[in-house]
Chain A
Amino acid sequence: MTALESAKKIKAKFGDLISEPAEFRGEISVKLADAEQITAVCEFAKTELGFNYLVDISSVDNYGDDPRWTVVYHLRAIVDGAEIRIKTDVNEEKSELPSVLPVWRTANWHEREIYDMMGIRFSGHPDLRRILMWEGYPYFPLRKDFPLAGKPSDLPGVAFTKTAPLEGGPFVTVAGGKDAISREPRIRNPEE
């Protein structure tokens, strides 16, 4: 079954909740209007349409727009290699959608990563802890309002202690106890 046929079957099953399949560079995407239904849609795609392999879950921060979050699921049928992308929006007040862990167990770490990086919670996930950042880290670093330079946290600045030989040059990291904004040349604000 091709990806387009599968997308049409999902649309036939869930009706208005599913958008018309969009094609870009040969990839088929559908959008789910109600994030609460994501587990049901994924379950249907897996059991009825053979999408037994969850490639990846990504998240996008549409900063400034409402709803703020988009969660993107990449599904694949190992048998014939058909791929489909399911997207769903979650608003900022809620920042929560059901976990697809009951459908594919690989979702476990993907969902933990999204929670860690974006702060979107997955209800029904048994072990929603931070995975890349450390437990107790106060921010969600992949959000668009989180600066590239980072924010000060309780960890001491142990990384830069000695003066570099070319210090003072335009492309040289400034050593010393200051924050990353003054340290790293790439992120210095041009107007300063």
Chain B
Amino acid sequence: MATVQDIEVRDSAARTAAAADELQDVQGEKMVLNMGPSHPATHGVLRIVLELDGEIITRADPDVGYLHRGDEKIAENMTYTQFIPYTDRLDYLAPLANNVAYALAVEKLLGIHDKLPPRCQYIRVMCAELARISAHLLGLGAFAMDMGAVTVFLLSFTEREKIYNLAEAISGARLTTSYTRIGGVMRDLPPGWLDQCQKFCDEFIPALNEFETLLTRNRIWVDRVRDLAVISKSDAIDYGLSGPNLRGSGVEYDLRKNQPYLCYKDLQFDIPTGAVGDCYDRYLVRMEEMRQSARILEQCIKKIPGGADNQTNEPVNVADGKITLPPKQKVLSSMEELIHQFMLVTEGVNCPPGEIYFGHENPKGELGFYINSKGGGTPYRLKIRAPSFVNLSIVPKIFVGTMISDTVAILGSLDFVMGECDR
């Protein structure tokens, strides 16, 4: 009769097999790690569910939507002009660029996007480029800080502060600028603004050189970001990436060059592209884009019609009483202007029926507005093509096979904003 001990004690071959089974179980055991939504490296409220095999990521599932405000629904219920403040809050690191993008989209629907006064075009280009520098500075600063290089973050914020001051001088607000209007801008540049802008450019390039000495050839930095999360050219196009992420993968596509709007045709600038498509390339592309933006700014300061104090009274708004608000003195003294003012404020800008899509080269990528109008002062449907939303959709692909400590580097190199992603 077999005892209990006889049954439990196995021969050596069975013991080896059992040990191998156990070992395999330990190796094959996956751990699920929840990253976010409140995590310092997710730049907002992004949640990523990571499946880990040891330290290696085997699956990543981004969960977006924590900042969803229903901007598209809100847009259907107000006039075109009333929606401008909501665009400040899309990519809140570059509100001026969002304002420009939205205004140009509505103007395309109206058919006046190529009839804007030259001074208005130059002002808008300067706004967009200042916003680009500001957004890239924060993107890089936060990217470097997540890697442990806190100094860059502090230095870049010194420069951003100057841009905020410039934004405050033109619009009265540092963050929620709402500077553009349908058919123009809120008001002309204040006296001395161009000099301040020139001063910023003069100080910015040496500061940028300083950042480069801290990062570009820093051994630790290069080792952490080089050859990490390589996105091939075909993948970048297939996943619809845009902006520096697309160009970092070597695709030379920039809406400012390929589909020129405003006065970009008259300005000299280069489009930097990456060679490998790794995090380091995306970093280098953003660095160079800031230099090019400063170059555009300096050209605008020299070429802007009317110059610093607009002695020649160049208009900054489209001369059409049915699109832009008339001057206040005229509203109080002339019947026609009073009617225009009343109609614009109560009914909104009367847009023709039709549908348009306008894509603007924003700091994060292509910010597009699809407007479906049935006529009248409110859009029937307004779809926002948010670059951060599309750029994040590649995360499940590029995260697989990387280490858990690389997640912050990859997220930093993708440079997204959740306010825009979730809308």
In the complex, are the beta carbons of A55 and B240 less than 8 A apart? yes
Fill in one digit per residue for A16-30: 1 if any B CB lies within 8 Å of its CB, else 0.
000000001101010
Partner of B357, one of A60, A85, A110, A117: A85
Contacts A27-B357, A78-B251: A148 and B74 contacting too (C-beta < 8 A)? yes
State the main secondary structure of chain A at its contact with B: mixed
- Contact partners of B258 in chain A: CB under 8 A: 81
- Contact partners of B381 in chain A: CB under 8 A: 58, 60-61
5 contacts between A and B (CB under 8 A): A52-B237, A56-B385, A106-B238, A130-B65, A131-B64
Q: How far is the CA of A53 from the CA of B389 in the complex (A)?
A: 16
Q: How far is the CA of A148 from the CA of B73 in the complex (A)?
A: 7
In the complex, are the beta carbons of B385 and A55 less than 8 A apart? yes
Partner of B383, one of A53, A56, A109: A56
Report A68-125 residues with CB < 8 Å from chain B CB. Answer: 72, 74, 78, 81, 83, 85, 104-106, 108-110, 113, 117
Residue B243 at the A interface, CB < 8 A?
no
Partner of A81, one of B240, B259, B393: B259
Contacts A56-B383, A78-B253: A141 and B239 contacting too (C-beta < 8 A)? no
In the complex, are the beta carbons of B77 and A148 less than 8 A apart? yes
Residue A40 at the B interface, CB < 8 A?
no
Fill in one digit per residue for A33-67: 1 if any B CB lies within 8 Å of its CB, else 0.
00000000000000000001111101111000000
Report B223-259 residues with CB < 8 Å from chain A CB. Answer: 237-240, 251, 253, 258-259
Partner of B240, one of A106, A131, A132: A106
Q: How far is the CA of A81 from the CA of B251 in the complex (A)?
A: 13
State the Cβ distance, B393 to closest chain A Cβ, in Å.
4
- New A-B pairs, 20, CB < 8 Å, besides A74-B370, A142-B73: A24-B355, A27-B356, A29-B355, A54-B240, A55-B357, A56-B357, A56-B370, A56-B385, A58-B381, A58-B383, A59-B383, A72-B355, A83-B357, A85-B357, A106-B238, A106-B240, A109-B390, A132-B64, A133-B65, A142-B72
Identify the closest chain A residue to B63 (Cβ). Answer: A131
Residue B206 at the A interface, CB < 8 A?
no
- Contact partners of A53 in chain B: CB under 8 A: 237, 240
In the complex, are the beta carbons of A131 and B65 less than 8 A apart? yes
- Contact partners of B357 in chain A: CB under 8 A: 27, 55-56, 74, 83, 85
Contacts A105-B238, A133-B68: A24 and B356 contacting too (C-beta < 8 A)? yes
Partner of B359, one of A55, A59, A60: A55
Q: How far is the CA of A81 from the CA of B261 in the complex (A)?
A: 14
Residue B192 at the A interface, CB < 8 A?
no
Q: Counting chain A CB atoms within 10 Å of each CB, which of B238, B389, B390 scores highest?
A: B238
Q: Counting chain A CB atoms within 10 Å of each CB, which of B65, B389, B423 scores highest?
A: B65
Of the four ranges (under 10, 10 to 19, 20 to 34, 35 or more), the interface on chain A belongs to: 35 or more
Identify the closest chain B residue to A143 (Cβ). Answer: B73
Residue B422 at the A interface, CB < 8 A?
yes
Residue B108 at the A interface, CB < 8 A?
yes
- Contact partners of B422 in chain A: CB under 8 A: 132
State the Cβ distance, A144 to closest chain B Cβ, in Å.
8
- Contact partners of B305 in chain A: CB under 8 A: none
- In the complex, number of A-B residue pairs with CB atoms less than 8 Å apart: 88
In the complex, are the beta carbons of A106 and B370 less than 8 A apart? no
Q: How far is the CA of A60 from the CA of B380 in the complex (A)?
A: 8
Identify the closest chain A residue to B383 (Cβ). Answer: A58
- Contact partners of B392 in chain A: CB under 8 A: 109
- Contact partners of A130 in chain B: CB under 8 A: 65
- Contact partners of A85 in chain B: CB under 8 A: 355, 357
- Contact partners of A29 in chain B: CB under 8 A: 355
In the complex, are the beta carbons of B354 and A24 less than 8 A apart? yes
Identify the closest chain A residue to B421 (Cβ). Answer: A132
- Contact partners of A171 in chain B: CB under 8 A: none
- Contact partners of B348 in chain A: CB under 8 A: none
Report B71-109 residues with CB < 8 Å from chain A CB. Answer: 72-74, 77, 108-109
Q: How far is the CA of A29 from the CA of B300 in the complex (A)?
A: 36
Q: How far is the CA of A134 from the CA of B63 in the complex (A)?
A: 9
Q: How far is the CA of A25 from the CA of B385 in the complex (A)?
A: 19
In the complex, are the beta carbons of A132 and B65 less than 8 A apart? yes
State the Cβ distance, B63 to closest chain A Cβ, in Å.
8
Residue B274 at the A interface, CB < 8 A?
no
Residue B70 at the A interface, CB < 8 A?
yes
- Contact partners of B306 in chain A: CB under 8 A: none
State the Cβ distance, B304 to closest chain A Cβ, in Å.
27
- Contact partners of B355 in chain A: CB under 8 A: 24, 29, 72, 85
- Contact partners of B73 in chain A: CB under 8 A: 141-142, 146, 148
